[in-house]
Amino acid sequence: MADANFPSLSSAVCYVDPRAALAFLEQAFGFEISMLIEDGAGNIAHSEMRFGSSVVMVGNEWSADHKSPRSIGGKNTQTVHIQIETDVDAHCERARAAGFEIIVEPETQFYGDRTYRCRDPEGHIWTVAQTVATVSAAEMEAESGLKITGWA
């Protein structure tokens, strides 16, 4: 049976220094630690951070296939998307001040979200978006030249 307090889908990111990542994500994005498991030596065995109803797990590199981008030449196989309700431009400035590298400045997209992309100190790429306009599929198609299906 699913845990009603845990989302059906969450992300897990590996860090060389997960303790620093926890502090950084708290400062930059306002994430809150909701679970911290440490071993007898005080090393992080598992952690979870909450943002609204979502969870991101922050952990160590734990196998040859679970590495921080820092350890694999900055490569990413996923990005983490954060949807916010408040001022995305101010959010971007908070992230910049905390030490995120802003790789795409805030820009309004054809689908009605204003987004920016940033890279954390270990190389993970995060996208942050705020819906600023309600746009129909027909309007998106006209603006982008793309075929849109499944848009409610």
Answer for the pair 110, 135: CB distance below 8 angstroms, yes or no.
Answer: yes
Together in a domain, 83 and 140: yes
Do 130 and 98 sit in the same domain of this protein? yes
For the cut 70, the answer to whether the pLDDT of residue 2 exceeds it is no
Count of domains observed in the chain? 2
Q: What is the mean pLDDT of residues 10-31?
A: 95
84 inside domain: yes
Asked if 54 and 83 sit in the same domain, the reply is no
pTM: 0.89
With 70 as the cut, is the pLDDT of residue 121 above it? yes
- Give the CA distances from residue 143 to residues 76, 110, 113, 127, in Å, rounded to whole numbers and listed in that order: 30, 6, 14, 22
In a domain, 11, yes or no: yes
* 85 and 57 within one domain: no
Which residue's entry shows tokens 């954390």?
120
- The residue-averaged pLDDT of 146-152 equals 85
pLDDT digits (tens, 9 = 90+) for 52-100: 989 999 999 989 888 999 999 999 888 999 999 999 999 999 999 999 9
Cβ contact 95:103 at 8 Å: no
- Of 61, 96, 112, the one marking the end of a domain is 61
3 state DSSP class of 122: coil
Per-residue pLDDT band at 1 (split at 50, 70, 90): very low
> Is the separation of the CB atoms in 3 and 56 below 8 Å?
no
Co-location of 83 and 119 in the same domain: yes
Q: What is the domain range of residue 15? A: 1-61
- Residue 7 pLDDT > 90, yes or no? no
Report the percentage of the chain scoring pLDDT > 90: 81
Q: What does the pLDDT average to over 4-28?
A: 90
Residue 35's CATH number: 3.30.720.120
